[in-house]
Structure formats: C-alpha cells, structure tokens
Structure 1
Amino acid sequence: MGRFDPETRRPGLTRVGVPGARTRRVVSGLVVALGLLNIMLALVRQPIISFGRIHNRVPIEAVDGARYLLLAAAVALLSSSTGLLHGKRHAWMVAALATLASLMAHPFKRVDYLGVAAAGFVLAALITTVGQFPARSDPARARRGLLWLALGELGVLAYGFAGLYLLDSQFRESPSFAEAVENALRLLFVVPATTIEPASRHGTWFIHSARLLASGMLVAGIWQLLRPVLHRTGPGRLERLRVRGLLDQYATTSVAYFHLLDDKTYFFASSGEAFIGYRMVGATAVALGEPIGEQFARKLVVREFAEFCDLNGWAFCFHQVTEAGATELREAGLSAMKIGEEAVVPVTNLSLSGKSFKHIRNTVNRLGKEGYWCERLPRPIPEETLAELEALSGSWLADGGHRERGFTLGQFSYDYLNETYVHVVRSPGGRIEAFANVIPPFQSKEGNFDLMRRRPDAEDGVMDFLFVHLIEHFRAEGMDGLNLGLAPLANLEGGGLVTHALRLLYNRGSRFFHYEGLHAYKEKWQPRWEPRYLVYRSELQLPQLALAVARAGETEGSLSWPWTDLAARLLPWRR
C-alpha cells in the first residue's frame, strides 16, 4: 500500500481530532450564559431593558406563561452545554430549539429587549457554527432518551390530571374533567394554570411538584439523548490476522503481544499500514502503548483515531507509551506524563559473580544442589501438566489477594498457555513449583514473559532461580535483554500538581501498594530503566482517564462494580 502524508491527508483537521474545539467552548459558554439569563429574567418582575411602556400592554397571563417557558428553556440550555463541548449534533439541536423558545418568550415577558437581543445573538451563533457539531450520540441511548421523555411526560400528565381532579378540596374551585385535562397539559409544559388556584399548602405543593417532575423528565431525556456512543462490537478473526501481521513486521514494545487479547478493539489507519489497539471503558478509549505500524501511517492513524473518538463523544489516552512513542504523539499535539519505568536486564554480559549478586548466586547454587531444575515445556502441553499448572495458578490467586487481570496482562487458560512457551521450576520430586510463560518478542531484541506464578509453599528463591534460567535462555536465543515489566510511579519527573500527587503516593503509599518494594526487587538485577508515559490531550480529562486506565485492567465482572476495591482501581499503572 502507498504511504500517506498525515500533514496533508485532511487539511480541515486540527493537529488531532475534529477542529473547532475553541469555537465549541465559546458557543457552550454562550448557551450557559443565556440559560442563566433566562432564569434571572424570569424571576424579575419588570423588564431590565424595554421600549417605552409597551411592556405594560402585555396581558398578565402571557407574562406568566413566558416566565415558565423561559425556565423550561433554561433547563434545556444548561442540560445541553456539556454535549456542545463535545461537539454533539443532538446537543446543538436541543440548544437551538431552546434558544428559539427563549426568543419567542422574551417579547411576551413584557418585551424585555435584553433577553431578545441575547437569544437572537446566541441563535445566530448556533446557526453559523452548526458545522462544528458533528459528533454522534449513541442511537440506542437516543431512542431510549426519547422513550424516557415520552413515557415520563405521559406519566407527569397522568399525575397532574389525577391530582387536579381528585384533590379538588385543595383548590378554590373544583375543576371539571375537561378543566383538569387542560390544566394538566399546562403543568406538563410548565405554563401557568388558568382556572386552578390552590387553596392550601398541599395544593400549592402539588402544582410545584408537577412542574418539577416535568422539568426532571426533560433533563433525563436530554441526558440520555446526548450520551456517548457505546462500543458494542469486538474484533473478528480477520482483524486479528491483520494485527498479527503488523505486529510481526513492526512491533518492538513489551506490551505489543497483548494487542492480541480478547479485550482489545482495533482502529486501522486508512492506509492499512498501522493500527491502534484499545479498550473501551465507559466513554473512554484506553489505547495500549503507541500506534504500531509504518512510520507515516502511525502519524496518520493518531489523527484519524482522535477524530473517530471525537465523533463518538469519547475521551482517549495512550497507556504505557515508550519514550520514542511519546515523542511522536507529542508531535501530534498531545501531552505526555511519565507514569513509571520499565526494567530491562542486559543479558549479553550479565554475570552473577561479584558482591552485588551474592544473594542470588547463593540461592541458585543452593536450589541446584538440592535437585531443583528448570525446563521449557513442549507444545502442546500435556493435559496432566496443564492441570498441574492450573492448580498452581489457583493456589497463587487464592494466596495474598491476587486476581486475574487484563489489558497489559494475560489470564490463565489452557489455550493461552499453548500459544506461548511455558518455563517451569521443578522440585527434586518433579513437582512444578513455579512457572512463567514467554511471549513473542516480534521485532524486539528483549525477551519478555507474562504470567509469573509460584506455589505459596514453594522453597524461598524459586523465582530468582527461574529468572536466572530465563536470562540464560534469552542469551542463548540471541536476545539483548530480559524485560521485567513496569515499576509504577518510579522516578517521576517534572512538577505540577498531578506529578507531585503521584510522587507523594509513591513515597507514602508503599505500605499499601508496595511500589518501592517492587522497584527494589527489580533493581537488584541491575537493569537499565526506560521511562513509560500516559499520553493524553487535556489535563482536565486526567481524573477520567486515570479511572479508565485503572478499570481497563479489570475483568468484565469487576468493571460492573466501579466502587469495589476502589483504592486499587485508583492506581492505574500496576502491571
């Protein structure tokens, strides 16, 4: 396939995403201002700016009706403001209708020219910027919103009619059936009743409750109408084959293999030569690492992915990005924040001689003398061996509060282990004491593993014994290093409130999350440390992105309970 120049592919785009973010912020601010102005002008008795005494000629019934219409329009305007920020087309439609209603109501509210001028200006702004609001709403949620609105308003109508007709003792005159229907409709549309005057506090409360219910149903309907698009489809077999081909040709990062897990969805560049693997968490697309593919296609896919997310009303971020990847993404106009460092043990010239490796050397020698040994299991793994590995994994999960995770980690299954090479430590009697599965490096010169589990009652030092075996294995395979994975929050750089908070969490939170202990364990292998980043578009989105990254690693069952184990979920960079 031919190469595409990302700087000229779509001249209408900003550096990333749908253009016009500043325009949308201005329009959203104008809509909020008009909503607040509507509320203020509905509350004041006389117009702030009027022409002569024309306002005195407007019937009092029209004035009251206009006040209620302004309040209803204000509710719709304020409810649509967030959707306008995200470029929602449905939000634009709601705001335009509410602004038009305001423009119609202000003349009847004793000809308040301040309101007329403001509504006219906002309506003109909405009309001239309609092209800046292309984002879709979720079709199912939009239909649900309309259904909520219709059924809710019917319920309010029934509530209003029943109250007016049955609570006749609470009003000065008992309404007839027709009068109850007429005034229930007036309450539904938040306009004043004409023939119903409450004679008690309960009657007054009922009138107010009907109007509040009608306004609440309007807000609920608009909220559903403007919800982000839900992601409902997973990748098919052909998409995975395309991804595998790109990984074989271009992938160099330690997390590349995890793009093939079932929890990923793929977005391909229009050239077909690069892709982004991501997981949807609510309305946030969490991408794994940087884009993978041909250099020019990587730049193209970032812009196309940002536009895709904008059109769906999604936030997005890239998690565990390498330094080279962060540089490319910064060039696209994104921001990067360091979230930790990855440890890579140089295996070519590593020797266990010397004082610094004395403890590891003694452990390996002791276990070797006791008859412990390592091997790489054949593929396919025999059924009885898989059953033994499953029992070991189950005991490891049950010990110490471990749990299966995803996104940057695989999960135990027979199929998954048979896709990789499993290395085990066996006791003198042949029992498997610990195992790790080695995943493909693709174009990387670093060996990498995923699951690393041991029996709770295994001899001390079996994991060090296994690591030494892996170092020797990767050296024999011609690899340059052994990747030990991420040390979260290690050696954070720069200032800023967020970085200071994460640094404080690292320094003070080790009692609960063992960050310093994890870093110290990896440090004893004398690795080189490579920075990893979270790449994002706006700092205002960081709380949403942090929670999404934390939840991306959880299983589907965990995702349905966002407040379970909240402390662990708020730490998104554990591997």
Structure 2
Amino acid sequence: MPTSTDGSRASDGSVRTGWLARAGAGFAATALLVWRRLKKQPVSLGYALILLVLALTTGILQGPPRWVRLWFGTGYESVIDGGHWWSPVTSVFLVDNLAELLLALLTTLVVLGYAEHLLGSVRTVIAFLATAILGTGVGLLLQDAGVASGEMWSRGVSELWALDPFTPIFGTIMAASSFAGPLWRRRIRVFTLVVALVLVLYSGQPSDFYRLLGALAGLALGAVFHPRRIDLTWRRSSHRETRTLLASVLGILAVGPVITIFSGTRFGLLAPLGLLLTQDVPSVTDVVDRCLLGNITRQCVHALTLERVAGVGPVLVSLLPLLTLLVAAFGILRGRRFAAWLAIVVNTGMAVLGAWYYGLLPISGQPYVWHWRSFQYFEVAVVLVVSVLVPLATAVLIAVNLRRFPVRSRPGRLRRFFLTTVVSFLALASAYVIGGLALSDRFTPAVTLVDLVSDVPERFIPVGFLRLERLSFLPTDWASTMLYQWVGPVFWVIVIIGAIQCMRSTVAGGRSDDAARLRALLSTGGGGSLAYMTTWEGNSLWFNASGSTAIAYRVETGVAITTTEPIGPVEDAARAIADFAIMCDDHGWIPVFYSLHGSWQATFARMGWQTMGIGEETILRPRTWDTTGKKWQDIRSSINRAERAGVRAEWTSYRALPVLESVQISEISELWVQEKELPELGFTLGGLDELRDPAVRLMLAIDGSGVVHAVTSWLPSYRDGRVIGWTLDFMRRRPDSMNGVMEFLIAQTAQRMSEEPEIEFLSLSAAPLAQTGSGDGENRASSLASRFIDFLGRSLEPVYGFRSLLAFKRKFQPEFHPLFMAYPDPVALPAIGLALARAYLPALSVREALAFARGLA
C-alpha cells in the first residue's frame, strides 16, 4: 500500500509538472509571438513606453501634479492666456489617471500599432505629430473665437486643461485608413468618427473636441499620403457589413449616456444623465418649497433633476431604454427585422418625447427656452434641438436600410409582444393612479386624480427628458416612493424580455423547434442537392400534419416561393404539396414551387399546374473524376499555375479559421460586392452569414504568406445521417488573385471527394435564370413565362454574370440537370416575376431599380 500511495503521489506530481511545463511553453511561445509583432511597430511601442515611464514618474494613480498639468497640459488658458505654445504636443504624452493609462497603452499597441503597419514608421510619426498639432490647434482657435463672442460652451470649458494621448491616435488611424482595404477602410472611418462624435456630444470636454478635429485632420492627411481618384458615387457594402455598421452605430449611441456618467465634467450637448452620480440630493421639502412657486432658475432645475433621480428606480428608468437599444443592436447584427423596428420605435419615441418636454413642439411650449434675444438662450435651444435630432436621425438611417433585415419573427410572437407591451403599460399606469389615490396624503403636496393621470407619462420615460419639466409633487415615505419610482422600470424590463423572445423566433408561422425538426428531416435524406438552403435564416417553414415533410418558403408581395422541393419521403410529398397550396390559399398567397428537379415534373402535371425551366444544375461524380484529355486543359493549367505560385487548397470550416483568415474572407466579399451595380443577391445564393454554419465546409486558396486568394463554400447533403454529397454555394476571389484560382479550388475539392467513397456527387449548383438552351425547344421559346425569364436573365447578365457562370461550370464537363418552377395560374406570372425579383434583391431600392431600368433602355 505505501508503494501504491507513493506511486500515486509521484504520478500526480509528474502530471502537475507536465501541465506546468506545457503551460510555461505555451506562455513563452505566445510572448515570443507578441514580441516579434511589437518589434515590427517601433513607433507605437516607443510611445507606449514613454507613456508608461512618464506616468510612473509624475504619478500613476491620480495623474501628474498641478504644476505639470499647468506647464505641459493644453487648453485655452494654457495656450491663449499662458502662451504655452508647446503644450499641444507635450499634452499627448501624459495621462490623467491609472484607468486612462491602461486604456491608452492598449489603444497604442493595438490601434496605433495597426496604423503603423499600414502607414510605415515614418508616416506614422508624421501623422501622429501633425494630427496632434492640427486637432488641438484648430480647436483652440475655434474656442478662442467662441470666448470672444460670448459662446457658452467655449467660456464654460476655458479653464479646463487637457492631457490626452487619444487625439493623435484617432488622427493617425484615420490617416492609415486610406491604406486599408475597402472593408477596414469603411469600418475604421465609421467607428472612429462615431466614437469621437459621441464623446463630444455626451462628455463635451475640450479634449473630446480636439479628438474629433484630430480625426478629421487625419482623414485629410491620409488623402495626401495616398491620393485616390475622387469617386463621388456610393460604394455599396454587403448586407452583413451594412448591418454590422448600423449595429455598431446604434450600440455606440446607446452607450453614450454612460460616458456622461463616468465623465468628470459634463459639457456635452447630450448629457442629461450627467447628474446621476451626484450625491448631493436636497430634501423633498426644500425642493418643493423653492420650485413649485415658478422658480425656473438653473439651480432649481438642477435640484429638481437631482430629486427626480434620487433612488434606484429613476436610474433604471433612464438606463433600461438604453439597454433596449443594445438588445436591438444585437438583433440588427443578426438581421432581425423586428430589432430594426424596435430601434426605430425607441429612437423615434425618444425624439418625440424630447421635442415635447424640451418645448420644441408648439403645442407643448416651454416659453422660457425660446428667448431668442439672448445668445445664451439660442445655445440652449441648439442643445435641445441636437438632443432631438440625434435619435431621430438614427431612426431614419435604420428605416432607410430596412430591406437589409430579412429575418422576420413569427406573426404570433409579434402580436403577443404588442399586446403584452400595451397591457403591461395600461396595467402599471392604472396601478400607479389607483395606488396614488390610496396614498394621496403621502405625497407632498397631496395629489388628486388629475395630478396622477397627468404624471403617468413621466413615470415611464428617462429622467433626462424632464430637466425642464415642472415638478408637481414628490413621495414622502417608502410606500409612495416604491409606487412613484418602480412602475417605469418594471415596464421596461417586460419590454426587454419580450423583445429578446421575439427576436429568438426567427421562423415565421411555425413552432420554436421547427429548425431542429427540419435538420432532423435533412439528416435522413430528401430534398435533393439544394435542400440545405432551407436552413438559411429568412425562410419560413411549413410542416404537414404528421411532421414527415417540410417545405421552406418566403412570402414576397403576396407570393409564397419555396426555396427548393419538399423535404421528406416521396410518398408523402404529393399530399404535402396540396396541403401547402391550401395553406397559401387560406392566407391569400400565390404558391410557387421553385428550384425543382425533373423527377417532380409528373407530380405537378397531374395537379394541372404550369411549369417552366429556370436554370440547370451542374453535377460532378467524384468517383469518376479524371482531368486527362484535351477538354481538361484549362483545369490542369489552373492547378499547375497554383503550384508554381505556392498557393495551396485548404478544406476547413469557418469556426476553425484563424481570425486573420476570417477577416480576409470578409474583405474579399466586400471587394466583390463593391464591383456590382446592384445590391448583393439573396434567396438561393448565400453570403457571409451562411458560411458560419458548422455543417458548411470551406475550400480556401492560401499562399505561403497566409493571404487568402479565394474562397468557396460547400453545403452538405445527407442520407441516413451520412454526408453523401456537397453543393457549391459561396464563390468569391480577390481581384488581384491569379487566373484560374476558382477552377483550382473546385478541382481540388473534386479530387478530395474522389478519395472519400461515401461521396456520391458534387453539385456546382445552378446559375439562376441561365440555361444551356437544350431543353424543351419550341415550346419553351413560345412560352410567355420563359420569355420573361430569358429577359430577366439577359438584363441581369451584365451585373451578375449568370450565363457567364454557367459557361464557367461547363469547363468541368458536368452532367446537366434542369431545374424548373411550378405555379398554378399563368395569370399570376407578373406577380411571380416581381416576387422573384424581391426575393433575389431584397435590398433593391426604387432609385436603384429605376437606374437599372434606364440602363436597359
């Protein structure tokens, strides 16, 4: 036994020692990698060391002493009054406190380091110093003009001294954006400018103003460093990238008021929550005595606001709407249309409430705001107008891009959310009025029914909107305080929970487990090679009564278009098609079965439906894959060219990609989208969102330097739980990649699948609206519907190249399998054509449609 015990201990010790050795080796490897990266950015590394050394020297916790701030900090008094002309440069090497030091070090090493990677060290130094001087210098000139003219903000901040390392960092990254690709160029500029603008609006310190000007100076300097041809046309972005930008802007604006809370001084135009941290709350009696008599001085308004926010409830009712916007931002990122509408409604509501309570609407009027004779009152009016315009502009921006959010919630869940919101508001408002009447003597002064009813809206809106609203009464004990403060937070919690549940229901007209039921059917087989497209978000799902068959569809302009054929046993399909058509008729929709294979032709012929060809699927057989012979010369040349260029093919999944490779894929996609004159296609053509499915595989073309030259994605087809085939979906390449890179990727995929005996086919999918013309000949040519499809295909060919894509796929000597569309009534063809256009181009605006139509003339 002792031997065993000693042996166990020895074993435990060796395991522990081995784990520590592996952990130490991993840490050492990571540290070495970081150090090699830092050595490539000497400017940012040197600046970070200077910040750290000066912080340790002058005071790392509370920042530099007063004499250092006076001599080396910048600001109006420092430069204009004190003549410290050097301070715009010296101030960027000092920080205010430990928290700012840590943030500055991180931003320097990451953001400034990335800028140095793009610009090079010499240009980084130039951009750093130039934007520091220009941002602060121009800001001081404007501030001097404001002080001379009596402008309120300039005079209010004239005594503040700025220590700010972020002005040159913002300016340098903006200058570096000119050297970035289109994806990161847009992201850098949007994020940097939005963050700088939010800081100005919600904090409003001189350093925030200098930072915004520094960013604009960096943008101009980047144009000097890297001149580009001036292009006044809008360069479109993919749907996902647009949603990413909108979600980021909404999230930053929602977090803005929190900046006010943590700001030492609050001079921003949108700082209504700045008083939340103030603990000097006057007594209820003092506030009522001084302010109910018409005293509307600034001190009285200040005291009223403090009393309004005295407690947890008012803080929550001010912050929960912001949390609602953050929830909406997350939904917008995921393409949820409900989230977009939620953001529009909340922002519009904030704008309307601001206009009402700030006296900008004539019917509500706060006459003491509009004394135009005084420049000071004019500035107050500007502050209030901006407070209204910011959320209103955000709502308009999201509404303009509403078509980019294809994922709809189930109608039942939407109705439930609406009813829950309305009922909860009415119930809580009634509880407040009834409870207030029961506790009327516990308010000061005692309240009446009219007082309580008129006060109901103020219980549900952020306190910041009530800065200029007269206070009628206040609670005096715990019971009246609970009633007074907590009806609003309870309402917003209900809204947030309901919104989250509504955004989780992404499949219209079904159950919450429909997605899992669909994947279970897919795993058993059925649905053909295109079946996996039914899992994409934006599809609605219908199941027959037994649950054995599923049909994925989208409703556009009153037409229900299926994504592909029914999924399930063939023997149940005919009845399922009839039941689906009945369901569509009950809803007033026109049923259209799209992307069907030839085996379904007889089924619809028996039903008396019309059919027409809409494309041809190209199929490869990996078991017989061979590239010998003259017909394969182009494919062999592409493979040899890739080998000479050091480009390899990598079979992987999106989740397994390193961060740098996933970013490159996003950039390739953006470059591809920007080449098109019309928006990115959808429906049966996947985008970046569809790559993220763990069952989807990618084949990448990567060179020895880790540069991704092209990407293809492959959708699985199952039988009895096994993958028996792959279908090509996503195809994008860099504009400067080698010729034949796509041929190389497809050939490598086919070669790989030929080594897996269970794989029966590779589908190169179908080019929408393009056919070889070998179909039904004379009947096809005489068909009105076919002529329409031909016209639509010819019209979109210059932009999307469907027919060129079909010609490309013919290089692989595939089998051609016609695809057709079935519909019940030829009279509905115009409506079906419009629905198909909306399905493929959900983000097509009226202006783009007219411009495209003019191009066809």
Please indicate the TM-score interval, normalised by the length of the shorter structure. Answer: 0.5 to 0.7
Structure 1: 5+ residue stretches without partners: 1-139, 141-230, 571-575
Q: 1:564 & 1:434 partners in 2: Cα distance? A: 29
Letter in 2 for 1:420: V
In structure 1, give the amino acid aligned to 2:614.
I
The residue correspondences of 1:35-54 to structure 2 (distance < 5 A) are none
Q: Deviations over 1:524-547 (max 9, x none)?
A: 211111010010001101111121
Q: 1:482 aligns with which of 762, 777, 784?
A: 762
- Cα deviation, 1:308-359, whole Å, max 9, x if unaligned, reads 1111111110111111123223323322111221111232222222111112
1:422 aligns with 2:698: yes
Kindly indicate whether the alpha-carbon contact (under 8 Å) linking 2:509 and 2:542 is maintained by their aligned counterparts in 1.
no
- Out of 601, 618, 625, the residue aligned to residue 326 of structure 1 is 601
2:661 corresponds in structure 1 to 385
Helix, strand or coil for the counterpart of 2:657? coil
1:499 aligns with 2:786: yes
* Count of residues in Structure 1 that have an aligned counterpart in Structure 2: 339
Paired-residue identity, %: 26
Alignment of 1:15-414 (within 5 A): 233=508, 235-377=510-652, 379-401=655-677, 403-413=679-689
Contact persistence 2:714–2:728 (CA under 8 A): yes
Q: Report what 1:440 is aligned to.
A: 716
Write the distance in 1 (CA, Å) between the matches of 2:699 and 2:543. 34
Distance in 2 (alpha carbons) for counterparts of 1:543 and 1:549: 10
Aligned equivalent of 1:74: none
Partner of 2:832: 545
Q: For 1:569 and 1:299, how far apart are their aligned partners in 2?
A: 40
Whole-Å Cα distance in 1 between the matches of residues 787 and 754 of structure 2?
39
Contact 1:381–1:418 under 8 Å retained in 2: no
1:326 is paired with a residue of what secondary structure? helix
Aligned residue number for residue 248 of structure 2: none
Work out the CA distance in 2 between the residues paired with 1:381 and 1:237.
30
State how far apart, in whole Å, the 1-side matches of 2:589 and 2:564 are: 18
CA contact (8 A) 2:507 2:539 kept: no
Q: Does 1:565 align with 2:849?
A: yes
The 1:359/1:455 distance shift into structure 2, 3 A limit, reads same
Aligned in 2, Cα 1:234/1:428: closer, same or farther, shift over 3 Å? farther
- Distance in 2 (CA, whole Å) between partners of 1:414 and 1:519 is 22
- Secondary structure in structure 2 of the residue aligned to 1:273: coil
Q: Kindly state the Cα deviation for residue 402 of structure 1 after the two structures are TM-superposed.
A: 7.0
Q: Could you tell me which residue of structure 2 aligns to residue 463 of structure 1?
A: 742
What is the rounded CA distance, in whole Å, between the counterparts of 1:368 and 1:234 in structure 2? 51
Change beyond 3 A, Cα 1:386–1:234: farther
Distance 1:234 1:271, change over 3 A: closer
Matched, 1:473 2:749: no
* Distance in structure 2 (CA, Å) of the matches to 1:526 and 1:460: 20
Specify whether residues 283 and 484 from structure 1 end up closer, same or farther in structure 2 by C-alpha distance, changes over 3 A only. Answer: same
TM-score, length-normalised on structure 1?
0.54
Name the SS for the 2:545 alignment partner: coil
**In structure 2, C-alpha distance between the alignment counterparts of 1:502 and 1:553, rounded to whole Å:** 13
Measured after TM superposition, the shift of residue 520 of structure 1 is 1.7
Query: 1:176 maps to which residue?
Result: none
CA–CA distance in structure 1, aligned partners of residues 540 and 632 of structure 2? 43
Where does residue 535 of structure 1 map in the other structure? Answer: 822
Structure 1 residue matching 2:718: 3-state secondary structure: coil
Alignment RMSD (CA, Å): 3.0
Q: Which amino acid aligns with 1:468?
A: A
Structure 2 counterpart of 1:413, one-letter code: D
TM-score (norm 2): 0.37
Question: Structure 1's 550 and 510: CA in aligned 2 closer, same or farther, altered over 3 A?
Answer: closer
Relative contact order (C-alpha < 8 Å, sep 6+): which is higher?
1
Provide the rounded CA distance (Å) in 2 between the counterparts of 1:526 and 1:264: 33
- Is contact 2:530-2:727 (8 Å) kept? no
Say yes or no: does 1:520 pair with 2:807: yes
Residues 344-353 or 503-512, more deviating? 503-512
Residue pair 1:422, 1:435 contacting (<8 A) in 2 also = yes
Question: Structure 1 residues 507 and 275, CA, compared in 2 at 3 Å: closer, same or farther?
Answer: closer
What is the CA distance between 1:292 and its match in structure 2? 1.4
Whether the aligned pair in 1 keeps the contact of 2:716 and 2:725 (CA below 8 Å) is no
Secondary structure of the residue aligned to 2:627 is: coil
CA spacing shift, 1:300–1:470, aligned 2, 3 Å: same
Report the Cα distance in structure 2 between the residues aligned to 1:566 and 1:242, rounded to whole angstroms: 42
**Measured at CA, do residues 476 and 566 of structure 1 come closer, stay the same or move farther in structure 2, by a change above 3 Å?**
farther
SS in 2 for 1:406: coil
Supply the distance in 2 between the matched residues of 1:417 and 1:319 (Cα, whole angstroms): 23
- Distance (Å, rounded) in 2 between the aligned partners of 1:320 and 1:273: 21
Deviation (angstroms), 1:464: 1.1
Contact residue 534 and residue 564 of structure 2 kept, 8 A: no
Q: 3-state DSSP class of the match of 1:440?
A: strand
Counterpart AA for 1:483: S
Q: CA deviation at 1:426?
A: 0.7
Partner of residue 32, structure 1:
none
8 Å CA contact retained: 1:396, 1:402: no
1:425 positional shift: 0.5
Measured after TM superposition, the shift of residue 252 of structure 1 is 4.3
Q: Secondary structure at the match of 1:357?
A: helix
| Structure 1 pair 507–408 and aligned structure 2 pair: CA distance change class (3 A) | closer
Q: Does the 8 Å CA contact 1:410/1:451 hold for their aligned counterparts?
A: yes
SS for the counterpart of 2:704 is coil
Cα pair 2:672 2:732 within 8 Å, conserved: yes
Q: Which amino acid aligns with 1:446?
A: G
8 A contact 2:620–2:814 mirrored in 1: yes
Q: In structure 2, give the amino acid aligned to 1:550.
A: A
Q: Distance in 1 between matches of 2:815 and 2:690?
A: 34
The answer to whether the Cα contact below 8 Å between 2:695 and 2:716 also exists between their aligned partners in 1 is: no
**Does the 8 Å contact 2:595/2:821 carry over to 1?**
yes
Separation in 1, partners of 2:853, 2:825: 21
CA apart distance, 1:401: 4.3
Q: Which runs of 5+ in 2 are unaligned?
A: 1-414, 416-505
The superposition leaves residues 250-302 of structure 1 with CA deviations (integer Å, 9 ceiling, x where unpaired) of 32423211111111111111121111110011211111122111223212211
Three-state SS of the structure 2 residue aligned to 1:545 is helix
Instruction: Report which of the two has the higher share of helix.
Output: 2
Cα deviation code 1:49-101 (max 9, x no counterpart): xxxxxxxxxxxxxxxxxxxxxxxxxxxxxxxxxxxxxxxxxxxxxxxxxxxxx
